[in-house]
Amino acid sequence: MSRNHFRIAVLPGDGIGPEVVREALRVLAALSEETGLSLDIREGFVGGAAYDRFGEPLPEASLSLAMESDAVLLGAVGGPKWESLDYALRPERALLGLRERLGLFANLRPVHVFDDLLDASPLKRSVVEGTDILIVRELTGDLYFGKPRGVRVEGGQRIGVNTLVYTEGEIRRIARTGFEAARARRKQLLSVDKANVLESTQLWRDVVTEVGRDYPDVALGHMYVDNCAMQLVRNPRQFDVIVTTNMFGDILSDEAAMITGSIGMLPSASLGDGRGMYEPIHGSAPDIAGTDSANPLGTILSVAMMLRHSFSLDTEARRIEDAVRAVLRDGLRTRDIAGDGTGLTPVGTVAMGDAVVRKIRDGA
Ligand code: NAD
């Protein structure tokens, strides 16, 4: 019999983080009632909220909570209030700390266009229709972790330094994640780099090619990141799985989000050798925090990814995805996906959460 009891650490964070996480938890609660799933949910502080309370963005208590759980659900961190803090104390450091301590090296970002949102994208319907991409972003290397780093004074002027480092081992393991993902989909893997000017990403290209010899059934291609940025808006249907570095993945996935209509729609899973962490790809959106207008669907879909990847509950994951599809079909839209001239009146964060909960209860 499969397991049906799981412990989830919830770290809502800052800005709209708590607002979207609340809706995702309501959806999970409804699903538990319907399916008999038993969830032990414990909340902790992270980001600016943790700094305000404990003087650090990732307190030991929150880290322990995450380490003792089967999976972590995170909202978002950051905001103008904490922007003048030292880098080590900034809310965003909590994300890097969690990724590092939980050994999360692969970030999966599915870019799926819902049929009912074809007109929500700023791109033409004919361009976005049928887009279904999985971006696999490396999470532990690159400019985000490389040393030396910092700003120093030399010859009377300030010099800013960050270091792009990738070890062969780091490239090999993320390449395997990419190939495995492609094998389970349409068997096309595109590796994105900047090998024409960056030696570290020539190594990336070489190692990905080497790993590819173990996956003769997957068609491997390579593309420079600047071309990929252009191709994503020119013809996104050409992509199946994209595997790329930490920074290129960060930027390309925000760009790809707009194909789906809004950054608020995109879920993500960060995986390693143990527990996974699930979060929408957007930030804390301070500009709309507290206005009940954030789109909670990216977070709700992140919970579906948690059920699938951490708990092997594919049917339950699909039930959430179907519920989201059904509310979109009913014409419910938060402001970010309402589009121009659709005649649809935007609903708030809570109303969108209510609608998904109702669909779960109705067995949509
Ligand atoms: P953002 O993703 O927070 O917001 C970008 C734009 O998208 C804003 O106009 C915002 O209103 C909109 N948006 C984002 N999520 C939305 C949603 N669910 N529904 C509707 N609209 C949504 O990016 P930003 O403004 O560059 O960053 C704000 C803060 O978030 C910064 O402090 C940044 O460091 C932090 N950040 C955190 C994460 C994270 O926690 N994983 C990721 C990115 C940025």
Choose the catalytic residue: 14, 70, 116, 144: 144
Count of domains forming the chain: 2
Same domain for 248 and 123, yes or no, is yes
Would you call 5 exposed, middle or buried from its count of C-beta atoms within 10 A (0-12, 13-18, 19+)? Answer: exposed
265 domain-assigned: no
Q: Identify the pLDDT of residue 303.
A: 98
With vertex at residue 275, the alpha carbon angle to CA 273 and CA 276, rounded to the nearest 5 degrees, is 100
- Residue 115 appears among annotated catalytic residues: no
Same domain for 137 and 162, yes or no, is yes
Q: Rounded CA gap, 355 and 330, in Å?
A: 10
CA-nearest of 5, 9, 1 to 311 is: 5
16 domain-assigned: yes
Same domain for 150 and 39, yes or no, is no
Q: Whose CA is nearest to atom 8 of ligand 1?
A: 285
Q: Identify the pLDDT of residue 343.
A: 76
Q: What CA–CA distances, in Å, run from 75 to 45, 118, 201, 278?
A: 11, 26, 31, 9
Same domain for 130 and 182, yes or no, is yes
- Tens of pLDDT along the chain (364 residues) come to 468 899 999 999 999 999 999 999 999 999 999 999 999 999 999 999 999 999 999 999 999 999 999 999 999 999 999 999 998 999 999 998 999 899 999 999 999 999 999 888 889 999 999 999 999 999 999 998 899 999 999 999 999 999 999 999 999 999 999 999 999 999 999 999 999 999 999 999 999 999 999 999 999 999 999 999 999 999 999 999 999 999 999 999 989 988 998 899 999 999 998 899 999 999 999 999 999 999 999 999 999 999 999 999 999 999 999 999 999 999 999 999 997 766 778 999 999 999 999 999 997 5
**CATH code of the domain covering residue 176:** 3.40.718.10
User: Residue 317: which region, alpha, beta or left (left: phi > 0; alpha: psi -120 to 50)?
Assistant: alpha
Same domain for 126 and 70, yes or no, is no
- Residue 147 appears among annotated catalytic residues: no
Same domain for 243 and 299, yes or no, is no
Same domain for 228 and 283, yes or no, is no
Which residue range(s) make up the domain with 309?
A: 1-105+272-364
Same domain for 27 and 126, yes or no, is no
Same domain for 79 and 122, yes or no, is no
CA-nearest of 16, 61, 30 to 43 is: 61
Q: Rounded CA gap, 84 and 72, in Å?
A: 28
Q: What is the DSSP letter of 281?
A: S
Which residues are CB-neighbours of 320 under 8 A, at least 6 positions away? 27, 31, 300, 301, 303, 304, 307, 356, 360
86 domain-assigned: yes
Picking from 239, 260, 281, the residue at the C-terminal end of a domain is: 260
- Residue 226 appears among annotated catalytic residues: yes
Picking from 225, 260, 295, the residue at the C-terminal end of a domain is: 260
Q: Identify the pLDDT of residue 2.
A: 64
Q: What CA–CA distances, in Å, run from 270 to 150, 188, 212, 309, 330?
A: 27, 21, 23, 10, 31
Same domain for 185 and 294, yes or no, is no
266 domain-assigned: no
Q: How far is CA 63 from the centre of its chain?
A: 20
Same domain for 255 and 117, yes or no, is yes
Tokens 């708990």 sit on residue: 311
Q: Identify the pLDDT of residue 274.
A: 85
Same domain for 217 and 243, yes or no, is yes
**Which own/partner contact pairs does 222-226 have at CB distance under 8 Å and 24+ positions apart?**
222/190, 222/191, 222/192, 222/193, 222/195, 223/190, 223/191, 223/192, 224/192, 224/193, 224/194, 224/195, 224/196, 225/192, 225/193, 225/194, 225/252, 226/194
Picking from 227, 260, 293, the residue at the C-terminal end of a domain is: 260
Lining ligand 1 with CB less than 6 A are 16, 20, 76-79, 92, 95, 262-264, 279, 282-288, 294-295, 298, 336
Q: What is the pTM of this model?
A: 0.92
320 domain-assigned: yes
